[in-house]
Each structure stands twice: as C-alpha cells, then as structure tokens.
C-alpha cells in the first residue's frame, strides 16, 4: 500500500513540475476547494423512498489535465447523504411482540462518507472566460458515520441511533455531471454545476435488507 501511495504521489509531483514549464494554462495538476449542498434520497428493496433530504459536502478538488480539453478529476470530500424510507419489518428494529405481522416503519438515514471520485472531465474551448464541461466516472465512498431515526405510525422508536455495525463500509456510485468553469484571474477559476451520484451498492449490512442511496450535488468550488 505504501508503494502504491508513494508512486501516485511521485506521478502527481512529476506531472505538476512539467506543467509549470509548459505554455498552456490548462495543463498540469490543479487543486481546489469545494463546499456545497447535496439533495439525497434512499431506495429500499422492501419498501419505498420518501423524497429528498438535505445534506452537505466539503473538501478538496483535483484536476489532472492531460490535454487542453481533457482531465482526470478526483478529490477528497466529506459528504453527507440523507434520505427517508418506509420499510416493512426492517432488521434490527422490527419487534414482533409489539408489532405483529407486517408493519411499516419510517426510517431516516443520516450517512456520512469520505469520498474519492475518479472521473473523466471533458471541457470545451474557452468562450470568453468560460469553459463548459461534462463529467463521468466512479464514486468511491468510505463510511465514517451512520445514524438513524425510526418511527412507527408517528411514534418514535429510536432517535439519532448509531447504525455503523449494520452499515457497509464501502459505497460505490456512478457519477454523471455537467457545469462550467469561470476564470476570475490568471490561475484562479470558479466552478459550478450539477452532479448525479447514483449509488449501486447496498449500504445496509443488516440481515434481509437491501438499501441504496443517491444524491444530486449542487457543485460550487474554486480552483487555484
């Protein structure tokens, strides 16, 4: 693992060094910061989703520009994905003694991930001070927080309870996005756009359950 990390770091530093000697502004390695809202929802296999829930994402952005109009885009962000569902007899909350038979439970997921996206970003030529882009790739999420509210017929069963032991550590998702970059100075640009992060792995490790979560990000960031 140390050899892999060291190799990647040397690759990034070498690319950045060559980029500083080049003539093109958009070549090389660029770092930025982001902080933006997310609109999340969850879809259980044994129930239904109950609309959008607000979350937040913040951290680092990185673009490795290997040609004037093409980049490998990644980053390191802390991302909250919230969502509400209604599920029948969900484990481990189902209590047959209190609620016999099929009972509909209302759940709120409050999930937090360390995200490392790996995407390809395609950019247009500059139109004035603006470049438009499209983005496609893989989202890699590592769970760092998982809490839940549960109620039945409006009666609270648990509130803000940790569910990390019933949560899968790794979450994968498909990223599709679009937006623009606006130059505000020679080496500084503001970026904004929309991203759909469509989760395709089960976030729950509880027996007999399968839940996937998704979000739309209203991306806002600054590259330096």
How buried is residue 222: exposed, middle or buried, by Cβ count under 10 Å (0-12/13-18/19+)? middle
120-144 mean pLDDT = 96
Q: For position 148, what pLDDT does the model report? A: 96
Domain membership flag for residue 215:
yes
Q: For position 15, what pLDDT does the model report? A: 46
Domain membership flag for residue 205:
yes
Domain membership flag for residue 5:
no
pLDDT at 9 over 90: no
CA distance 17 to 63: 15
72-83 mean pLDDT = 97
CA distance 223 to 63: 9
pLDDT at 98 over 70: yes
CA distance 49 to 52: 9
Q: pLDDT tens digit string along 136-179?
A: 999 999 999 999 999 998 999 999 999 999 999 999 999 999 99
Domain membership flag for residue 152:
yes
28 versus 129: the higher-pLDDT residue is 129
Average per-residue pLDDT in the chain?
89
DSSP string, 47-84: EEE---EEEEEEEEEEEEEEETTEEEEEEEEEEEEEEE
How many structural domains comprise the chain? 1
Considering the entire predicted model, what is its pTM? 0.84
Here the CATH number for the domain that contains residue 186 is 2.40.160.20
Domain membership flag for residue 91:
yes
Domain membership flag for residue 132:
yes
Q: For position 4, what pLDDT does the model report? A: 47
Asked whether 103 and 94 are in contact (CB, 8 A), the reply is: yes
Split at pLDDT 50, 70, 90, the class of 23 is: very low
CA distance 214 to 117: 14
Domain membership flag for residue 110:
yes
Q: pLDDT tens digit string along 198-210?
A: 999 999 999 889 9
Task: Provide the residue range defining the domain that includes 95.
Answer: 24-223
Domain membership flag for residue 9:
no
Q: For position 22, what pLDDT does the model report? A: 43
């Amino acid at each position: 693992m140390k050899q892999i990390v060291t190799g990647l770091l040397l690759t990034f530093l070498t690319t950045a060094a060559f980029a500083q000697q080049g003539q093109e502004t958009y070549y090389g390695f660029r770092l930025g910061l982001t902080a933006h809202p997310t609109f999340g929802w969850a879809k259980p296999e044994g129930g239904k989703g109950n609309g959008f829930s607000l979350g937040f994402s913040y951290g680092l952005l990185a673009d490795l520009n290997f040609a004037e109009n093409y980049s490998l885009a990644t980053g390191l962000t802390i991302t909250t994905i919230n969502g509400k569902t209604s599920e029948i007899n969900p484990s481990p909350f189902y209590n047959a003694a209190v609620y016999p038979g099929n009972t509909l439970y209302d759940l709120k997921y409050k999930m937090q991930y360390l995200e490392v996206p790996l995407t390809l970003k395609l950019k247009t030529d500059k139109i004035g001070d603006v470049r438009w882009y499209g983005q496609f790739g893989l989202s890699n999420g590592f769970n760092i927080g998982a809490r839940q509210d549960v109620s039945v017929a409006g009666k609270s069963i648990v509130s803000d309870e940790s569910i990390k032991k019933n949560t899968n550590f790794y979450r994968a998702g498909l990223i599709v996005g679009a937006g623009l970059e606006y130059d505000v100075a020679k080496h500084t640009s503001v970026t904004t756009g929309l991203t759909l992060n469509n989760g395709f792995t089960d976030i729950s490790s509880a027996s007999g359950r399968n839940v996937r979560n998704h979000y739309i990000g209203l991306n806002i960031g600054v590259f330096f």
